[in-house]
Amino acid sequence: MQNEFYDITILGCGPAGLSAAINATIRNKKVLIIGAEICSPPLHKAQKIDNYLGVPGVRGEELLARFMEHALDMGIEIISTKAEAINEAEGVYNILVKEEMVKSKAIIIATGIPYKPTLPREEDMLGRGLGYCATCDGPIYRGKDVLLIAHSSEAESEANYMAEICRKVYYLPLYQETMELDPRIEIINGKPGEIIGSDFVQGLKLKDGSEIRVEGLFVLGGETAPDRLIPGLEISNKHIKVNRQQETNLPGVFAAGDCTGPPYQVAKSVGEGQVAGLNASKYVGRK
């Protein structure tokens, strides 16, 4: 992956992402899929799928395994992580993944059901004491108290870094795994409720009513809203706006599957993935 230049990078390894990938690969495009550990949790949990034509009465997990096998048999490169940030420069997209930069001529977003923020008013408070990258904003909170809400253990290294520069670090994990945390960090067991403070963050109220007063609040490892991931991306009714060619408003950026709107169904996602994969291939061919 390192320093590689891909034709098409696909975000998401569910039905839409995998369908886009096999279609672009057949068109001889160099494809990278950046996906989560479990591709498409809703399909993974489905007891029985009976409406994907030609494959009647199949468990979701089994269908997903068949999809994955189809893609892997074609030699498609899949990495289990997420894109941190995407920026465009001179017609090329730079994708920050695990502190490395991947270059790609086109992007297909196939990230599934729409993004939900972790906290109410999260978007309003962004930059007002709330952040998504402790490593980036850390220096602002030197000598102050901060609370980190963590969706996965990947946030632990960020917490440890904050423990070195902040007065007090609270850590609220939303996952169940062993932790390697600096002993100075105080672990909070509870569910996040709401942000305290109107102009600036003053703390976090938990679901049990207790309050933790801090000046900085971070949500780490959560899903990134697509329009924050790719600045300027047009959203309509919480979904990525696409036309019938699966083109978004940004040149070279396509979207397919649940993230483009209902119905949230396998065949619809596979079909849109195909159209996105073929049209992204055409786009790359024209460049």
Q: Does 12 bind a second copy (CB under 8 A)?
A: no
- The least CB distance from residue 24 to a second copy, in Å, is 10
- The least CB distance from residue 79 to a second copy, in Å, is 20
Q: In the complex with a second copy, which residue's Cβ is closer, 56 or 117?
A: 56
**Binding test (CB under 8 A) with a second copy, winner from 10, 150, 278, 280:** 278
Q: Does 22 bind a second copy (CB under 8 A)?
A: yes
Q: Does 40 bind a second copy (CB under 8 A)?
A: no
Give the residue from 1, 195, 167 showing the smallest Cα distance to 79. Answer: 1
The residue range among 28-36, 170-178, 201-209, 236-244 that interacts with a second copy, by the rule CB under 8 A, is 236-244
- Residue 105 and residue 32: Cα distance in Å, rounded? 11
The residue range among 47-55, 95-103, 124-132, 217-225 that interacts with a second copy, by the rule CB under 8 A, is 47-55
Q: Does 15 bind a second copy (CB under 8 A)?
A: yes
The residue range among 124-132, 195-203, 223-231, 274-282 that interacts with a second copy, by the rule CB under 8 A, is 274-282
- Residue keyed to tokens 């932790």: 179
- Residue 181 and residue 135: Cα distance in Å, rounded? 16
Task: Please give the residues from 66 up to 105 whose contact with a second copy meets the rule CB under 8 A.
Answer: 66-67, 70-71, 73
**Binding test (CB under 8 A) with a second copy, winner from 43, 270, 280, 284:** 270
Q: Does 55 bind a second copy (CB under 8 A)?
A: yes
E strand intervals along the chain: 5-11, 31-35, 77-80, 83-89, 92-97, 100-109, 130-131, 145-150, 168-173, 186-187, 192-196, 203-206, 211-213, 216-220, 235-236, 239-240, 253-255
Q: Does 208 bind a second copy (CB under 8 A)?
A: no
- The least CB distance from residue 9 to a second copy, in Å, is 19
- Residue 91 and residue 211: Cα distance in Å, rounded? 47
Q: Does 268 bind a second copy (CB under 8 A)?
A: yes
- Residue 40 and residue 66: Cα distance in Å, rounded? 13
The residue range among 48-56, 101-109, 153-161, 213-221 that interacts with a second copy, by the rule CB under 8 A, is 48-56
**Binding test (CB under 8 A) with a second copy, winner from 104, 222, 274, 280:** 274
Instruction: State which amino acid sits at residue 220.
Output: L
Count of Cβ atoms closer than 10 Å to residue 193 Cβ: 16
- Residue 263 and residue 280: Cα distance in Å, rounded? 23
The residue range among 17-25, 38-46, 161-169, 214-222 that interacts with a second copy, by the rule CB under 8 A, is 17-25
**Binding test (CB under 8 A) with a second copy, winner from 195, 242, 255, 284:** 242
Q: Does 113 bind a second copy (CB under 8 A)?
A: no
Q: For 147-179, what is the HEC assignment?
A: EEEECCHHHHHHHHHHHHHCCEEEEEECCCCCC
**264 and 258 Cβ atoms separated by less than 8 Å:** yes
- Residue 40 and residue 103: Cα distance in Å, rounded? 25
What do you get for the CA distance between the two ends of the chain, in Å? 22
**Positions in the binding site for a second copy (CB under 8 A):** 15, 18-19, 22-23, 26, 50-56, 63, 66-67, 70-71, 73, 242-244, 260-261, 263, 265, 267-275, 278-279
